[in-house]
Amino acid sequence: MNALRLIAGNTAKKRIEEHGLTPELVRMVVGASGGPKWLVLLGLDKFLFGKWLAGSDHTIDLVGSSIGAWRMTSAAHPDAGPFIEKFISQYFEFRSEHAKTPEALTRSSYEFLDRLFEGGEAEKITANAKRNLNIVTVRSRGMRSDSSKFKEGAAILASAGANAVDRAHLAKFFDRVVFHSGEGVPCSSAWDDFRRKDVTLTPGILADVLLASGSIPFVADPIVNIKGAPEGVYRDGGVIDYHFDIPWKLDEGIVLYPHFYGHIIPGWFDKSHKKRRATGATWDQTLLLAPSDEFVQTLPGGKIPDRNNFTDMTDDDRLAYWTIVINESERLADEFAACLDNPDMLLARMEAAPQ
């Protein structure tokens, strides 16, 4: 049984065949929304960012929404390995009582980030010239700081209905706002829809931006009026960019996508629309790494973690389950490392991306 799937778009496969899969070939890394699902990737993240890519001198664009933004923020640290360990240690301190209300979750999340970024860590992340961190949020159109929860709830329901008709209708309700630490947003023309606004990411707003990117409606409070960004109410970037259905266009190199699924869902409201799963150009320059279905079946309950763990399990049971998943996630890293050491096996293991 293979624990890891390697799914490659046409151009990505050609470039790997021509140049070999080296750190220098990786020009972008993408991180999806998905809450605790990311824990199945922790072993892979530690290998990729803490070891394999750690010594590369070229600039790598890191793009993420929601928990993917939190993961890419850790990856942007100049000493990513230890910072990821610090992040997961604090992540395990989170208890269900910290999320009893949206207000409690937001407050505890700010406290989490205050501890994570103490000692100038935010400055190290945003100043790292080798990593251009791009955190994706949405700005709710028509919402103000004093808008009622009823009004926002009605807008969310309306946007879900509009999205069911056509994903493009989401633009009536949300703007895409990207906060970047480098000179600009990568592959700008490939995702210039949804009235995208680009904002420079500074240390002073990093916590606000991260919380905004993961601010799920009805679960957490919105983040309002982020300094340097257009005034307004900011929410989870996964509303538009759940898994990033974007046809990235790099002049050279590939997009590396460590993902908890072997498919790409465009937006948060598209989860039940299987016909909208990305194909073709979205995959063309991407190498996606994901746990195999067979591997997932070996985990407790045959599932990867999700947000329901906070309500369906006690904290002790949840953390015990998560620990097993994290330990098993090392198998993904081991298999990828073995593929790097054996180019023939790497090419043989690659699956063709959906067309």
Q: Which stretch of 71-80, 213-222, 248-257, 293-302 has the lowest confidence by average pLDDT? A: 213-222
Number of domains the chain contains: 1
Q: What is the mean pLDDT of the chain?
A: 95
Q: How confident is the model at residue 212 (pLDDT cuts 50, 70, 90)?
A: very high
- Structure token digits, residue 256: 């590396």
- What phi-psi label fits residue 304: left (phi over 0), alpha (psi between -120 and 50 degrees) or beta? beta
Distance CA(308)–CA(317), nearest Å, equals 13
Q: Is the pLDDT of residue 144 over 80?
A: no
Position 136 pLDDT exceeds 80: yes
pLDDT of 323 reads 98
Q: How many CA atoms lie within 13 A of 34 on its CB side?
A: 24
pLDDT at position 288, please?
98
pLDDT at 156 over 80: yes
**C-alpha–C-alpha distance, residues 80 and 97, integer Å:** 30
Residue type, 91: Y
pLDDT at 108 over 80: yes
Domain that holds residue 108: 4-352
Model confidence band, residue 145 (pLDDT cutoffs 50, 70, 90): low
Distance (Å, rounded) from C-alpha 342 to C-alpha 328?
A: 22
Give the pLDDT of residue 154. 85
How confident is the model at residue 146, as a pLDDT?
A: 60
pLDDT of residue 185: 98
pLDDT reading at 168 higher than 70: yes
Mean pLDDT of 236-263: 98
CA-to-CA distance for 13 and 121, rounded, in angstroms?
A: 36
End-to-end Cα spacing for the chain: 26
pTM: 0.96
Residue 150 pLDDT greater than 80, yes or no: no
Which residues, including other chains, have CB under 8 Å from residue 273's CB and lie 6 or more apart?
A: 164
Which range is least confidently modeled, 42-51, 142-151, 253-262? 142-151
Report residue 130's pLDDT band, with 50, 70 and 90 as the boundaries. very high
State pLDDT tens for residues 1-14. Answer: 899 999 999 999 99
* 228, pLDDT greater than 80: yes
Q: Which of 49, 99, 96 is nearest to 71 (CA)?
A: 49
pLDDT tens sequence across 264-320: 999 999 998 999 999 999 999 999 999 999 999 999 999 999 999 999 999 999 999
Provide the residue type at 244 as one letter.
F
What backbone phi and psi angles, to 5 degrees, belong to 304? Answer: -90, 160
Tokens encoding 307: 């947000």
| Confidence label for 80 from pLDDT (cuts 50, 70 and 90) | very high
User: What's the one-letter identity of residue 265?
Assistant: I
Quick one: what percent of the chain has pLDDT higher than 70? 98
Q: What is the 3-state secondary structure (H, E, C) of the chain?
A: CCCEEEEECHHHHHHHHHHCCCHHHEEEEEECCCHHHHHHHHHHHHHHHHHHCCCCCCCEEEEEECHHHHHHHHHCCCCHHHHHHHHHHHHCCCCHHHHCCHHHHHHHHHHHHHHHCCCCHHHHHHCCCCEEEEEEEEEECCCCCCCCHHHHHHHHHHHHHHHHHCHHHHHHCEEEEEEECCCCCCCHHHHCCCCCEEEECCHHHHHHHHHHHCCCCCCCCCEECCCCCCCCEEEEHHHCCCCCCCCCCCCCCEEEEECCCCCCCCCHHHCCCHHHCCCHHHCCCEEEEEECHHHHHCCHHHCCCCCCHHHHCCHHHHHHHHHHHHHHHHHHHHHHHHHHHCHHHHHHHEEECCC
